[in-house]
């Protein structure tokens, strides 16, 4: 009996340790000369302790995504007209990546990538297009692809003379793809066909405030609401979501109206419990704003604090919800905050990850 208890205790401890340990995958820019590509760290969600597991050379892997089965990582290689998409085999135990395949992104400077089963969706920023690629069971890319070219512009003479697709985001029901075009000041909604090729067909498009620059959108965990941050104004727009339709509920500011500097809003995420929303501004601010979510989907600003670095391009909440990590493009570090689950407020944990030009953070089991 005593031996059985010892065995059960050992198994419990092993499972508990496994449950709190994750892979933290960091995408970077390599053209500054201080980064090699993709970094994988062992991450303890209880303590926020990190340990480097692997480094994989790749050209400007500025955004990446992990396949649903955790077997593959797909990354953009942001390299102007020579941009590509790469696939890697992913060993979750060792954290090592094994290069499998590379294919043209079919447009300049891809800045966002996501997966929908064997469908890979890519946003080309400079190219102004959204691309659908298909991956085989072994991670190699198939010839099947669809390129949808946007051609519009908007009022900002410096930044909106052509289409600039900044994100392609799947809806919670996986029936649609929402595409934010910063250059056109439009949000496109595409239906995803139930065929093997999963073709995209335009369902509708939403015009946002001219000159605002729609950048990133995040859905609430219950799938009923969506929140869009605008790069040029820092404004957050709240929408009600239902069956491929976004209905505006509210617009709320993250910056004082008399602020004259550069805002450069970057990223936006909702906590897993659906109670809080976070949004970052770069530029002359380098801040993260916390909002409380009401039951009807509207937002109330709680506080805005420094991200403790420069250029908070991407951030993520860890799987435990206890910490929030911010990747600083210009100070070459990831700052880890403690997160109060009751209030949503952030405090500095004192922990940092030193890595060259980090711009994408993704967790995987």
Model confidence pLDDT, tens digit, residues 195-246:
988 999 999 999 999 999 999 999 999 999 999 999 999 999 999 999 999 9
Q: Which residue has the tokens 């970094």?
A: 39
In contact, 97 and 38? CB cutoff 8 Å: yes
Sheet of 110-116: strand order equals 110-116, 119-124, 129-135, 141-149
* pLDDT (0 to 100) of residue 78: 98
Q: Tell me, what DSSP letter sits at residue 351?
A: E
* pLDDT (0 to 100) of residue 297: 98
Top-confidence residue, 261 or 5: 261
Q: Tell me, what DSSP letter sits at residue 260?
A: -
In degrees, rounded to 5, the angle at the alpha carbon of residue 179 between the alpha carbons of residues 109 and 131 is 50
* pLDDT (0 to 100) of residue 175: 97
CA torsion through residues 85, 67, 338, 254, sign: positive
Top-confidence residue, 288 or 11: 288
Reduced to 3 states, what is the DSSP secondary structure of residue 333?
Answer: strand
Q: Has residue 10 got a pLDDT over 60?
A: no
In contact, 73 and 25? CB cutoff 8 Å: yes
Reported confidence tier of residue 97, pLDDT bands at 50, 70, 90: very high
Percent of the chain with pLDDT over 90: 93
Model confidence pLDDT, tens digit, residues 50-82:
999 999 999 999 999 999 999 999 999 999 999
* pLDDT (0 to 100) of residue 322: 98
What would the mean pLDDT of 158-180 be, rounded to a whole number? Answer: 97
φ, ψ for residue 3, nearest 5 deg = -65, -40
Model confidence, pTM: 0.94
Residue 166 CA to residue 124 CA, distance in Å, equals 7
φ, ψ for residue 142, nearest 5 deg = -90, 165
């Amino acid at each position: 009996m005593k031996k059985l208890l010892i065995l059960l205790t050992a198994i419990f401890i092993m499972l508990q340790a496994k449950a709190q340990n994750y892979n933290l995958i960091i995408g970077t820019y390599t053209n500054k000369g201080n980064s090699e590509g993709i970094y994988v760290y062992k991450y303890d969600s209880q303590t926020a302790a990190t340990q480097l597991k692997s480094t994989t050379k790749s050209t400007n892997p500025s955004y990446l995504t992990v396949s649903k089965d955790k077997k593959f990582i797909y990354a953009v290689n942001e390299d102007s007209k020579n941009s590509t998409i790469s696939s890697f085999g992913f060993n979750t135990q060792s954290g090592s990546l094994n290069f499998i395949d590379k294919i043209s992104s079919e447009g300049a400077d891809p800045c966002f990538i996501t997966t929908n089963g064997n469908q890979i969706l890519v946003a080309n920023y400079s190219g102004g297009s959204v691309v659908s690629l298909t991956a085989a069971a072994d991670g190699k890319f198939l010839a099947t692809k669809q390129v949808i070219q946007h051609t519009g512009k908007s009022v900002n003479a410096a930044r909106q003379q052509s289409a600039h697709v900044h994100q392609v985001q799947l809806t919670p029901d996986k029936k649609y793809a929402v595409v934010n075009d910063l250059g056109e000041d439009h949000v496109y909604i595409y239906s995803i066909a139930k065929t093997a090729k999963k073709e995209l067909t335009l369902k509708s498009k939403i015009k946002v405030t001219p000159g605002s620059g729609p950048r990133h959108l995040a859905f609430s965990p219950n799938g009923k609401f969506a929140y869009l941050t605008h790069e040029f104004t820092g404004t957050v727009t709240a929408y009600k979501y239902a069956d491929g339709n976004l209905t505006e509920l509210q617009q709320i500011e993250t910056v004082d109206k008399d602020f004259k500097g550069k805002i450069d809003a970057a990223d936006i995420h909702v906590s897993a419990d659906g109670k809080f929303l976070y949004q970052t501004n770069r530029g002359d601010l380098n801040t993260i704003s916390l909002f409380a979510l009401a039951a009807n989907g509207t937002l109330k600003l709680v506080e805005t604090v420094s991200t403790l670095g420069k250029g908070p391009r991407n951030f993520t909440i860890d799987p435990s919800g206890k910490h929030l990590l911010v990747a600083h493009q210009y100070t070459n570090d990831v700052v880890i905050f403690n997160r109060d689950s009751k209030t949503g407020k952030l405090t500095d944990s004192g922990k940092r990850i030193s890595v060259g030009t980090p711009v994408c953070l993704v967790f995987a089991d």
